[in-house]
Amino acid sequence: MDSTDGSLELIRRWVDAVNDRDIDSLLEVAHEEILCRPLSVGGGGGTYIGHDGLRRWIGRLSPDLHVRCDTIRPLEGGLVGAFGVLLVRERVASPWALVASVRDGKVSAAQSYFSDEHTLATLGLLGEEPPD
């Protein structure tokens, strides 16, 4: 497995741990100095720093919220993007995207958006041109 494959798998594990509210699995994949900016919905929002910050965030997060991750792919600048939809009580509520950094084999930064891949690319947040 090359480093790109490893980063993609790491983000898959991150998404799964958040959806499961599994703090132990989340801390396994998170750098101890992580900077996390989740969606501002259902107890999320704000900026959470380090493992203590992740514990606070997961403890506040509504059990009604989950994401369905349809795509994970490498982005320019060594970033990783995950794209799908936000589910509220198992119903699609919004497009969802995560842009993450990986350092030392761990997620070191994670920013979520109420947006799709094309919009983020158009806004220049993915460091690349929008897909056709």
How confident is the model over 67-94, as a mean pLDDT? 94
Domain regions of the chain by residue span? 3-122
pLDDT at site 61: 93
How confident is the model over 95-124, as a mean pLDDT? 90
Checking if the pLDDT of 108 tops 90, the result is yes
Domain 3-122 classification at class level: alpha beta
How confident is the model over 3-12, as a mean pLDDT? 89
**Alpha carbon 104 to chain centroid distance?**
17
